[in-house]
Amino acid sequence: MRGSNLNPKKKDTMANTAQAKKRVKQAEKSRIRNAGQRSNLRTFIKKVLAAVKEGDKEKAQAAYNIAVPIIDSAVNKGIIHKNKASRSKSRLNSKVKSIA
């Protein structure tokens, strides 16, 4: 449960120190930025999956080649873990190669 405490009598607290207030602002900015980048990542993965579902190997390969650097940049930005990126690329590649 985001933003709620386990104790129902206790109210949510706000940051008291200047440092904590700044961290709240920074966390919100990064949350919004990360959400956009995560959405972009998912979009490109879906494009590969859609091309695979159509059965168009050239389109799927082109979409895969576009998606791979985006997946890698998500790792560098800390959006996803490197093992998740490797797993995603491997699964996408195997689906692209499975098209007859």
With a cut of 90, say whether residue 15 has pLDDT above it.
no
CA separation for the pair 56, 25 (Å, rounded): 45
How many Å from the N-terminal Cα to the C-terminal Cα in the chain? 46
Q: What is the pTM of this model?
A: 0.77
The residue ranking higher by pLDDT, 15 or 31, is 31
The residue ranking higher by pLDDT, 93 or 4, is 93
CA separation for the pair 42, 36 (Å, rounded): 10
| Domains with residue ranges and CATH for the chain | 18-97 (1.20.58.110)
With a cut of 70, say whether residue 2 has pLDDT above it.
no
Span 58-93, pLDDT tens digits:
999 999 999 999 999 999 999 999 999 999 999 999
